[in-house]
Structure formats: structure tokens, C-alpha cells
Amino acid sequence: MTTTMRTVPLVGGPVELRGALDLETTAAGVMPRRLPAWTKEQYQDPSVYGVTVMPSGVRLVFRTDARPLE
């Protein structure tokens, strides 16, 4: 049996990111954010940025008939 891998875009495609208030595009891909990007100016402590990009609670929602996912 031959397995064909297909790349699916996370933005503008059939995948929905739920729980993220903003998405930051980087050279490595898409980074979900727990706070909107415009709030970055309001951080008093630089370590708050690290917490805002931890994707706790962010979920991928999609339908597939595939058996393996990678």
C-alpha cells in the first residue's frame, strides 16, 4: 500500500484554529497567540510575551478520511 502525504495550509484552507485570538506568521510557519497582537505594546514585563504565544487551549478542527496524521 502506498501512502501519499499531502500538505494542508493552516490559514485560508480547510483547517480551523480555535481558541487563538490572533495568528503570527513566522519563517517557521503560523504561531497561534492567546492575546491579540495589538496588546503587545501594553506588556509591562517582557516575559508576558512568552505566555501569549503558548498555544494552550488552541485546537485544530478539520475533517478527514485519512487513517494516519503526521
H or E element in which residue 49 lies: helix 47-52
* Backbone phi and psi for residue 41, each to the nearest 5 degrees, phi listed first: -65, -20
Taking only the tens of pLDDT, the chain with its 70 residues reads 667 777 888 888 888 888 888 888 889 888 888 888 888 888 888 788 788 878 788 888 988 888 887 7
Q: Are 57 and 34 in contact (CB under 8 A)?
A: yes
> What pLDDT sits at residue 1?
60
Q: How far is the C-alpha of 51 from the C-alpha of 67, rounded, in Å?
A: 34
